[in-house]
Amino acid sequence: MSSFIALEGPDGSGKSTQAKLLAEEVGARGYDVLLTREPGGSPIGDQIRQILFTLNNKSMHPKTEFLLFSASRAQHVYEVIRPYLDKGGVVISDRYFHSSLAYQGYGHDLDLDTLKQITSFATSDLLPDLILLLDLPVEEGLNRRKSEGKWNRLDDYQLEFHQKVRQGYHAMVDEDPDRWAIVDASQPVERIQMEIRKVVFRHLASVQTLP
């Protein structure tokens, strides 16, 4: 039985490292697994990613940002995620639409209902079965990214913006707690991975036993 798992979290939460380690283990346990990411995840999506992360595009309006993320996502769903799920595989995505709700919605105060409608159109309501929120204090995450030299245009926004993003994630967890699992991302990498695996394999086992 297929399963769609998304990793979410503020910048510098170590999602990409964790997603990679998780995908390796899911594969090692015999599942067909696809690791992918947003924005991007498809050749067209990767071109959109370039536009979004060009440091010079400082005048980009949050609405433009949202629509580009959504365009990349539509392509990702139809070209990559949907077909893999239809074959019965496990898809692990490093970010999905809750990133847009958190960053462009809660962070930039764009109207959430409108964003949800456009997202529903872009994805045909494809929702992850499980979402892992890698949670950590905003200052800690930003410092990590700076020290790794991974700084992009979106990181340049104010600390207050990142606080709103984190609060947005928590609001979404509260709205749909059964779909989410919060993992404390300020722990060492191995410890975080252990917690993630516990949640994911419990989820995969429950999916397998469903009639």
Q: Which residues bind ligand TYD (CB under 6 A)?
A: 11, 15-16, 38-39, 69, 95, 99-100, 103-104, 152, 154-155
Q: Residue 31 or 78: which CB sits closer to ligand TYD?
A: 78
Q: Residue 3 or 99: which CB sits closer to ligand TYD?
A: 99
Q: Residue 4 or 204: which CB sits closer to ligand TYD?
A: 4
Bridge pairing between strands 3-8 and 90-94: parallel
* Cα distance from N-terminal residue to C-terminal residue, the chain: 10
The dihedral of CA 198, 204, 209, 210: what is its sign? positive
Q: Residue 115 or 204: which CB sits closer to ligand TYD?
A: 115
Q: Residue 65 or 129: which CB sits closer to ligand TYD?
A: 65
CB under 8 Å to 199, separation ≥6 — which residues?
Answer: 130, 132, 181, 183
Q: How far is the CB of 83 from ligand TYD (least distance, A)?
A: 20
Phi, psi of 131 (to 5 degrees): -125, 125
Q: How far is the CB of 148 from ligand TYD (least distance, A)?
A: 10
Q: Which residue is nearest to ligand TYD (CB)?
A: 103
Phi, psi of 148 (to 5 degrees): -85, -5
Q: How far is the CB of 73 from ligand TYD (least distance, A)?
A: 7
Q: How far is the CB of 157 from ligand TYD (least distance, A)?
A: 9
Question: What are the angstrom distances between the C-alpha of 172 and each of 52, 60, 142?
Answer: 24, 26, 22
Q: How far is the CB of 145 from ligand TYD (least distance, A)?
A: 7
